[in-house]
Amino acid sequence: MSKPINHVVIVGGGSAGWLAAGVIAADHPSLKVTLIESPDVAPIGVGEGTWPSMRDTLHRIGVSESAFFRECDAAFKQGSRFDGWREGGGAGDYYFHPFVLPQGFGEADLVGRWQRDFANVPFADLVSFQPHLCVNGRAPKQPATPEFAAVANYGYHLDAGKFGVFLRRHCLEKLGVRYVPDHVTAVDSHENGDIAALGTREHGALEGDLFIDCTGMQSLLLGRHYGVPLVHRKDVLFNDSALAVQVPYERGDSPVASQTTSTAQRAGWIWDIGLPTRRGIGHVYSSSHTTDEQAQADLRAYVKATGSADMPSPRKLTFEPGYRQQFWHRNVVAIGLSAGFIEPLEASALALVEMSAAMVSDDLPASRETMDIVARRFNDAFTYRWERVIEFLKLHYVLSRRTDSDYWHDNRRAETIPARLRELLALWRHRPPSRLDFNRIEEVFPSASWQYVLYGMGFVPDRERITRRGIDGNPTGDAKGHFRDAAELARRMLRALPSNRELIDHIRLHGLQKI
């Protein structure tokens, strides 16, 4: 039998490296886990939004949710709001992608009934209580609700820099991860081409059996050492630049938003994330469609229009949209930015890190003999996931009716739309997105998410056909009853739930009950 996997070496820290270390060390306490983090390289640190999956990940590695809120400047996130994406702004040009499923999803013909009787009501507002919680700034749980439990499904907004430090301390103090603050200077290989050890400036050669590349966009091991290329997708998603700022609140008791707000611009969009002590705001844009100066002017105008007189100097980021042709090659697997990056719309970056760390840990090969089998499965799973992310993000653009710039016209050109997405849009003229379209057990975005964006963006199906499918009994539940249930849940929750800031303040003072 070939050499067993006894030592996992992670190169690079930040959210990706420390999440990977935490998941693997928590699941495999007898395994040696070492993380090498260069003191010369600062983490990018702007990924401040998560999905609800982060609750499971933090619970999996044994983190206290109360400590997480206190130390990471965290807030609750219940979904995303999109402003100005359909027409370019104005009253009513918004929609929500909430984190809860539509009420009665899969039990009734919600879309057909909505189209027939309530088409003037935004889809998400009709089928879900959660947009109403977001509009009113409510938290997704009560002070008595235990850690990680929810009244309404939620993820987090967080300070990415503080999050990496928090995870590092937990991994070192609670999970026994070995920490090597050093700079990798060389890669030593076995005769078969596997990596045998990494040379470091201060600690010499560090041997390992499996190496995880979390070195960011430089992709030190997978990209630079092995030469695994990027699959470039700028032909589909044009954005390749971002300007990020941190803006203080005007008052210490200002409301903390319960959602990420994404506001469309002439050549991109602006994110707005509320933390307890500040807002994280950034403009993502296409350098082919605007200049840095104009992007900064648009960002400044947004910051001023949303209540802040002054804007700090923004931090400029550039990226090449795409993902690695392979994510696991020989005894190296890439997680995080080293695996690829697509613009931060819908906050998929940390979610893909979580999925990657979980699959490596769940399917960890016992020996080098079986590693190639696991690698093939991993590569298949994540090629599929990255392509679904690209299609889902493109959906936001292809349905826009904005005509104020070449950027929006170009996003609707047929040659920029993936073939699979074009086929799905043709099918969805006659039926809603369903499990038939997304049938893997662990889809990145479930069919409900596609419905929220599809109908939020104003997609109009063939009303006669789509309502006839429902009338014919496919499915047969009482859609109107589910609409009433969603409205009643919204009324009850608005009365019972505290504001986002009220609950965050409670957690900081008193904590939450342990599960």
Q: Residue 375 maps to which CATH number?
A: 3.50.50.60
> Tokens 């975005």, residue?
445
328 shares a domain with 192: yes
Same domain, 162 and 100: no
Question: For residue 500, is it within any domain?
Answer: no
* 77 annotated to a ligand binding site: yes
User: Pick from 267, 292, 317: which residue ends a domain?
Assistant: 317
Count Cα neighbours of 496 within 13 Å in the Cβ-side half-sphere: 14
Helix (H/G/I), strand (E/B), else coil: 302 = helix
What is the pLDDT tens value at each position of the chain, 515 positions in all? Answer: 478 999 999 999 999 999 999 999 999 999 999 999 998 777 665 658 999 999 999 999 999 999 999 999 999 999 999 999 999 988 899 999 999 999 999 999 999 999 999 999 999 999 999 999 999 999 999 999 999 999 999 999 999 999 999 999 999 999 999 999 999 999 999 999 999 999 999 999 999 999 999 999 999 999 999 999 999 999 999 999 999 999 999 888 999 999 999 999 999 999 999 999 999 999 999 999 999 999 999 999 999 999 877 899 999 999 999 999 999 999 999 999 999 999 999 999 999 999 999 999 999 999 999 999 999 999 999 999 999 999 999 999 999 999 999 999 999 999 999 999 999 999 999 999 999 999 998 899 999 999 999 999 999 998 766 655 554 445 557 899 999 999 999 999 999 999 999 999 999 999 999 87
Q: Where among 350, 368, 383 does a domain terminate?
A: 383
Q: Give the H/E segment covering residue 212.
A: strand 210-213
Q: Known catalytic residue: 77? A: yes
513 assigned to some structural domain? no
| Backbone φ and ψ of 488, nearest 5° | -70, -40
pLDDT in the model for residue 476: 57
In angstroms, the CA 319 to CA 303 distance is 24
In a domain, 244, yes or no: no
* Pair (62, 187) in one structural domain: yes
* Residue at a domain's end among 266, 282, 317: 317
Does 337 carry a binding-site annotation?
yes
Q: What is the pLDDT of residue 473?
A: 43
Out of 3, 32, 77, 304, the active site residue is 77
Q: Are residue 428 and residue 474 in the same domain, yes or no?
A: yes
Q: Are residues 86 and 51 in the same domain?
A: no
The tokens for 178 are 């070995």
- ∠ CA 206-210-213, nearest 5°, is 85
160 & 299 share domain? no
The span from the CA of 233 to the CA of 237, in Å, is 6
DSSP calls for 13-54: -HHHHHHHHHHHHHH-TTSEEEEEE-TT--------B--THH
| 336 in a labelled binding site | no
Q: Considering its fold, how many domains does the chain have in total?
A: 3
- Within this chain, do residues 207 and 172 fall inside the same structural domain, yes or no? yes
Contact by Cβ (8 Å): 402, 87 = yes
In a domain, 416, yes or no: yes
100 and 190 share a domain?
A: no
What is the structure's pLDDT at 1? 46
- Residue 329 and residue 272 in one domain: no
Q: Tell me the helices (H) and strands (E) count for the chain, helix number first.
A: 16, 21
Range of the domain at 50: 7-75+156-234+321-383
Q: With respect to residue 250, please indicate whether it lies within any of the assigned structural domains.
A: no
- Which H, E and C letters describe 77-125, residue by residue? ECEEEEECCCCCCCCCCEEEEECCCCCCCCCECHHHHHHHHCCCCCHHH
Is 91 annotated among the ligand-binding residues? no
Q: Residue 29's CB: how many other CB atoms inside 10 A?
A: 9
The answer on 290 and 226 residing in a single domain is no
Token pair for residue 239?
Answer: 């954005």
- CA angle centred on 106, ends 104 and 111, rounded to 5°: 75
- 15 marked as binding residue: yes
Indicate whether 395 and 466 sit together in one domain: yes
Token code pair at residue 84: 């100005």
133 is in an annotated binding site: no
Beta bridge partners of residue 247, listed in sequence order: 279
Residues 6+ apart with CB under 8 A from 276: 73, 74, 75, 256, 501, 504, 505, 508
Distance separating alpha carbons of residues 178 and 172, to the nearest angstrom: 7
Judge whether 508 lies within some domain.
no
Judgement on whether residues 415 and 330 belong to the same structural domain of the protein = no
Contacts of 316 (CB under 8 A, 6+ apart): 241, 242, 243, 292
